[in-house]
Structure formats: structure tokens, C-alpha cells
Amino acid sequence: MLHYSVVFLVIALIAALFGFGGIASGAVEIAKILFFIFAAIAIVSFVLGLVNKR
């Protein structure tokens, strides 16, 4: 999921470079959403890993 977030961020940078502001802002929003989903899943997985070790 983090990989897709980086891919959309690169797409946004390229679109912004060529002047496609609407596409760039959409790609940035998708990248942010994917990153926060990744972060939430990573935190939950880390906490569950700590709980299951006991």
C-alpha cells in the first residue's frame, strides 16, 4: 500500500510539472489517503504483535 502511495505521489509531481493541476491534486489526495490507511494498519499490526507476545 505504501508503494501505491509513492506511485500516486510521483504521478502528482509529474502532472504538476506539466501543468495539470486538477490531476495533480487528485493524485495527491489519493496518495494521502493510501498513506494514512497504511499508517493505521501498521500501527494496529504493531500493537497486536506486542499483545500477542505475552
pLDDT tens-digit map of 4-40: 989 999 999 999 999 998 999 999 999 999 999 999 9
User: Which residues does 27 contact at the CB level (< 8 Å), separation at least 6?
Assistant: 8, 9, 11, 12, 15
Which residues fall within 8 angstroms of residue 2, CB to CB, at 6 or more apart?
34, 35, 38
Whether 1 has a pLDDT exceeding 80, the answer reads no
Rounded Cα distance between 15 and 28, Å, is 10
